[in-house]
Amino acid sequence: MVIPHANSRPIWLVTEAAMPRFLAAQGPASRAVLSAQNFNAERHRVMLLPNEAGDPTAAVVLGLGELASLELLRWWHVAGLPDKLPVGRYHFADALPDSVRYQSELGWRLGEYRYLRYRAAPSSARAQLDSLGNEASERAKRHAVACSLTRDLINTPANDLGPAELEAVMQDLALRHGAMFRSIVGDELLTANFPLVHAVGRASDRAPRLLELRWGSEDHPRITLVGKGVCFDSGGLDLKPAAAMLLMKKDMGGAAVALGLAQALMQRGAPLRLRVLIPAVENAVGSNAFRPGDVLRSRRGLSVEIGNTDAEGRLVLADALAEAQSDRPDLVVDFATLTGAARVALGPELPALFCNDPVVSQSLQHLGDLEADPVWPLPLWDAYDDELSSRIADINNVSSSSFSGAIFGALFLRRFIEPGTAWIHFDLYGWNARERPGRPVGADAQVLRLMDRYLAERFG
Ligand code: BES
Ligand code: MN
Ligand code: ZN
């Protein structure tokens, strides 16, 4: 535990209900300011408090409004602080319960995030957090750093983040943690039997690739993460309209989450045998592009008729998922910005969760709530499965129905999951559509903290 620096101002977190107790504990100077400003711990309201020695800004109080107890504090309650407070050092006062310490320090750190690749910060000097340095603070820091990696990757436009650049980031991550790294690039994908990854990515002059990282002792439970790494999704020949294409630099959001999570896991030395597989491609238009109506053989052997080249994510994931099961892992998790339909169903903030084990699904939903990194289950509805049928191939990559698109995406992926494989699929947006403290418009690292927590609870 770190003793706060002498110049570090304490931040008090106060609910409306706790206000009388808080007031009673204050000296006269501070009490005078609070009553003159009529402060009643209104949610998000921040006040600087004097001390008896005459320092007018000796402490900070943050209102939490009607929050029933401090245990219910979530990171976004405090995420506005770094931008609201004057330059200086701060720490969260009180012996906070670990979960509250975690959410508070996490909120501050997520609130600090800015994407500064292309222009300078508005002002360089900023309020700064002194963390307590216990396990909860360290976890908050680790998560914030991992989320920043994920956010930076998603925010980076496709001209600066193609398949090769994504590879460089993953290779660097592997190097920093002593992980094994390999990549299969361009036409090598054909000889190595990743035909769908190759087909989706081949029209771009930026070669498609299958990226792989392995880390940790062979004796540990085997966890394989698969992330959709479509660095730009034009829709291919079934081209997207302009409005739908505008945000498609973020179509590698699944890969970004997988890499951020991998970093968090390796940094804490999780007792896992970790494997990460990223099919990294650009879904481009060209004379050698794959076409609607083409029939492609997948890694697993199934023939796939292309109903729409814009359903490319499930194609590259199908080959990656086939490979993911080659060493009989204990759990396979895929992350993907897979369907617009998942957003129609649940909106931008609630990733859809599909899982072939209802107990795992329930536990993820519950932990998502606790972590303030929520997910919502949708069904792998067997009765719809036959709508993915093709007249000439084993399966079509889209259904002819215009309903339940997120379910069809998941059912398509399930065709590539072997019986007995424990599998989780997240269909996520990876983007904040509206501006809020800690959630600026732009990339969001959804389900990263949830999955670190889940894996920690289940495997240590
Ligand atoms: N990357 C998109 C899905 C997407 C769209 C995610 C918008 C987030 C926001 C995916 O590759 C795609 O285009 N899916 C199609 C599937 C359809 C052709 C069956 C979609 O959702 O429209
Ligand atoms: Mn698409
Ligand atoms: Zn896509």
Catalytic residue among 45, 84, 240, 268: 240
Using a 6 Å cutoff on CB, does residue 308 contact ligand 1? Answer: yes
Q: What is the pLDDT of residue 248?
A: 98
Of 218, 283, 293, 226, which is closest to residue 251 (Cα–Cα)? 283
Which CATH number fits the domain that encloses residue 110? Answer: 3.40.220.10
Which CATH number fits the domain that encloses residue 176? Answer: 3.40.630.10
CA distance 49 to 44: 16
228/297 same-domain check: yes
Q: Determine the average pLDDT of the residues in 78-106.
A: 96
How many distinct structural domains can be found in the chain?
Answer: 2
Active site residue 300: no
Specify if 183 maps to a domain.
yes
**Where would I find the H helices in 206-303?**
242-245, 253-267
Q: What is the pLDDT of residue 2?
A: 65
Using a 6 Å cutoff on CB, does residue 398 contact ligand 1? Answer: yes
* Minimum CA distance residue for ligand 1 atom 7: 340
* Residue 31 reports pLDDT greater than 80: yes
Q: Which of 130, 152, 182 is the last residue of a domain?
A: 130
pLDDT tens per residue, range 45-90: 999 999 999 999 999 999 999 999 999 999 999 999 999 999 999 9
Q: What is the pLDDT of residue 122?
A: 82
68/94 same-domain check: yes
Specify if 390 maps to a domain.
yes
CA distance 456 to 17: 34
423/303 same-domain check: yes
Specify if 3 maps to a domain.
no
Q: Which of 108, 130, 152 is the last residue of a domain?
A: 130
Specify if 307 maps to a domain.
yes
Residue 446 pLDDT grade (very low, low, confident, very high; cuts 50, 70, 90): very high
182/224 same-domain check: yes
Specify if 4 maps to a domain.
no
213/322 same-domain check: yes
Specify if 2 maps to a domain.
no
281/360 same-domain check: yes
209/113 same-domain check: no
DSSP conformation letters of 347-404: -TTS-EEEES-HHHHHHHHHHHHHHT---EE----GGGGGGG--SSSSEESS-S-SS-
Q: What is the pLDDT of residue 124?
A: 75
Q: Determine the average pLDDT of the residues in 230-234.
A: 99
What average pLDDT is seen over the chain? 97
Of 326, 290, 275, which is closest to residue 196 (Cα–Cα)? 290
Active site residue 240: yes
Specify if 135 maps to a domain.
no
178/118 same-domain check: no
120/163 same-domain check: no
293/146 same-domain check: yes
CA of 308 to the centre of ligand 3 (A): 11
pLDDT tens per residue, range 261-307: 999 999 999 999 999 999 999 999 999 999 999 999 999 999 999 99
159/50 same-domain check: no
CA of 214 to the centre of ligand 2 (A): 28
Using a 6 Å cutoff on CB, does residue 337 contact ligand 1? Answer: yes
pLDDT tens per residue, range 155-200: 999 999 999 999 999 999 999 999 999 999 999 999 999 999 999 9
Q: Determine the average pLDDT of the residues in 245-251.
A: 98
Which domain, by its residues, includes 256? 140-459
169/123 same-domain check: no
Instruction: Indicate the top mutation candidate among 310, 314, 413, 432 to test ligand 1's pocket, ranked by most ligand atoms within 8 A of CB.
Output: 310
Q: Which of 130, 163, 190 is the last residue of a domain?
A: 130
> Which letter does DSSP use for residue 123 in this model?
-
* Residue 1 reports pLDDT greater than 70: no
